[in-house]
Chain A
Amino acid sequence: MTLPIQDPALAAEGLGVPPRRHGFLRSVLRERKAAVIGLAIIVFFILLSVIAPYISPYSATAQTCAVYAPPSSRHWLGCDDGGIDMLSELMQGGRISLVVAFAATFVAMVIGGGVGILTGYFGRWIDTGLMRVTDYLLVIPDLVFAVVIADLWGPSLFHVIIVIGILEWTSTARIIRAQVMSLKERVYVKRAQAIGSGHARIITRHILPQVGPLLMANTVLTIAIAIYLETALAFLGLEDPTVTTWGTILEHAFERTAISSGAWWAIVPAGFVIAIVIVGCFLLGQAIEDALNPRLKVAHLSVRRWRIRPLAGRGPDAI
């Protein structure tokens, strides 16, 4: 079915052709190089985390070289304050960091998706009530809030996951809500209502598949935020002291005089792996969002490729 888009309003929302559930990600990957790079980065780090225990050169907990030994042919990234091989520690830390980020994101997406669908679909007092909560959480400084809760509950991996999860669902909820509010007015939802479908059926069969891609984009973007927050909490000493994560690597380096010892190798690699993973999430998430909501493809100033802005409603490229 390749009908041209008729309604310019729908085309502007980027919702003219409802994305099919499985083909969507594939088409994003085919059309956008950034998405491929982002996905490749994420998959690479997941795989690395899975096989880390088998390929890491040394133990991530036992001393295998001198304190703050510089990088050498035997220890590629040098050693930390306890004489632990940095490369092995980074691999081990990545496992925990990613698990924390994925778990926290899962919590955030369940809350955010749930709240977004409920408020958007039912409206009225549910909307008013839950949106007030959302507005509140949007304005409070999340790291400060996380620090307070994490401190009150005590340092543990589980608490960090829950704290990040209950803080980072708000923007997702708002985006999903807006989408559901527009979906609710679609003709096919009205028809489903007319033939007597219940709320549960409409939500699971007609609404959920439509917000799926949007939820996917938000999941990926939230993973980036979760990783960032985890490293920040760890840096402030609120992470479980018995585990190694990318955040605690930075914390230990800072607390245990890596800087005055000149041991840059205890700091630099951890920052780069964190940044690369976050960039990967950002590229993939942004690419999915752009595919859902194409922005203007022409600027009146573009010096080299000057062209007249296309009129609305002509062809699939129309804005």
Chain B
Amino acid sequence: MRGADYLVKRGFFALVTIYVAITINFFLFRVLPGNAVTDLSRVPHASPALRHALLTEFGLDKPKWEQYLIYLKNLAHGNMGISFANQQPVSHLLLADLKNTIPMVTVGTVAAIILGVFTGVLSAWRRASASDHLSTNTAIFFYAFPTQWLGLMLLILFAGILPAGGMSDPFLFTAEPFWQHLGDIAKHMFLPAATLMLTAFGSYTLVVRSSMLETLGEDYVLTARAKGLPTRRIVWRHAVRNALLPLVTLIALELGFIVGGALLVEVIFSWPGIGLAMYSAIGQRDYPMLQGGFLILTVSVIMLNFVADLLYFRLDPRIST
């Protein structure tokens, strides 16, 4: 069966890609010139004894291939090293951060998809009308504005109305009811998620629009029209469902962009997620954190890509490559 072949192939590709990501992660930090390791052992005024002690402590005196095996073994046990900055295990820190990142990114992305689909469909529906031009041009501009700039603009516009940073109000008592905490987090999440939505929806609009235009030229749309179905029904029931396939591909392709956008957004709004953790790691030269964050984000994107592949297969069983 060709379908099963496809799934096995995609799954295998995902696994290989994850392995490559892990290996590249090792090479980036340990083997390439100008890597973290040479920086680490370049302590100013270090005596040879201290340098040697450091090298042994971090296992850097061993040959590279042995270091690589140790790295793989530790990773298999979920050990990503100890953060230089606060001496905590990197995996614990990053998993806690990831839990903060996921809701914000999900809300922002889903909002972007909804906005993109609506504006895209309406643009295609009212092709070449003033509303089409308006929505297409708005989409192009939001696509072009840098993410960090959109975030700063929202900060300026909503300063004082909505919380500008963090994820929750530190002065809210833990005894307060659950919904109040939820409302507090929602309030804090509004600006970061809105920034993410604004930065991502433009390309969705454009893709949905062009794919809708293509779908509306299909024969079955003509048939539906000949049957006398109301336009609204043709658009939402017949055309949109088919026109959304390219959107799935685009969302999968743009996951990396979303993650990058999330990094910038978290820095601007001090959202305590994995992006902010990586940003502080840059400032503190906390290489284990940087390495761990990069690995987690890359592996997440690869897995989500695989999920998108599965979804695409479910939506369109014709594909077999």
Contacts and interface: CB of A to CB of B under 8 A. Distances in A.
B147 A275 contact: no
A130 interface: no
Interface residues of A, number: 53
A245 to B, nearest CB: 12
A36 interface: no
A309 B213 CA distance: 13
Given A148-B291, A274-B144, A299-B124, 9 more contacts: A139-B255, A145-B294, A154-B34, A231-B149, A236-B263, A267-B152, A268-B153, A299-B127, A300-B218
B117 interface: no
B144 A279 contact: yes
A275 B128 CA distance: 24
B94 to A, nearest CB: 13
B222 A300 contact: yes
Interface string A232-265: 1001111000000001001001100001000010
Interface of A: 132, 135-136, 138-145, 147-149, 151-154, 224, 228, 231-232, 235-238, 247, 250, 253-254, 259, 264, 267-268, 270-271, 274-276, 278-279, 282-283, 295-296, 298-303, 305, 309
A304 to B, nearest CB: 8
B146 A228 contact: yes
B264 interface: yes
B187 to A, nearest CB: 19
A300 B239 CA distance: 11
Interface of B: 13, 16-17, 20-21, 24, 28-29, 32, 34-36, 124-128, 140-141, 143-150, 152-153, 155-156, 159, 210, 213-214, 216-218, 221-222, 225, 231, 234-235, 239, 253, 255-257, 259-261, 263-264, 267-268, 278-279, 282-283, 290-291, 293-294, 297-298, 301-302, 305
Given A152-B32, A154-B34, A237-B282, A140 B21 contact: yes
Contacts of B283: 237
B231 A301 contact: yes
A262 B268 CA distance: 16
A152 B36 contact: yes
A295 B214 contact: yes
B34 A271 contact: no
A232 B264 contact: yes
Contacts of B127: 299, 301-302
Interface on chain B toward A: helix, strand, loop, or mixed SS? Answer: helix
20 contacts: A136-B20, A141-B298, A142-B257, A143-B261, A143-B263, A144-B259, A144-B278, A231-B146, A232-B147, A232-B260, A236-B282, A250-B148, A271-B145, A274-B146, A275-B141, A275-B144, A275-B145, A279-B144, A301-B225, A303-B126
Contacts of B21: 136, 140
Contacts of A254: 148, 152, 268
A136 B17 CA distance: 6
Contacts, number: 169
B259 A143 contact: yes
A235 B282 CA distance: 13
Contacts of B263: 143-144, 147, 236
Contact of A153 (B34, B125, B218): B34
Contacts of A264: 156
Nearest to B218: A300
Given A250-B152, A267-B153, A299-B216, A142 B256 contact: yes
Contacts of B298: 139-141, 144-145
Contacts of B267: 235-236
Contacts of B257: 141-143
A59 to B, nearest CB: 25
B282 A141 contact: no
Contacts of A144: 256, 259-260, 263, 278, 293-294, 297-298
A219 to B, nearest CB: 17
Contact of B235 (A224, A236, A279, A301): A301
A136 B25 CA distance: 13
A267 B156 contact: yes
Contacts of B255: 139, 141
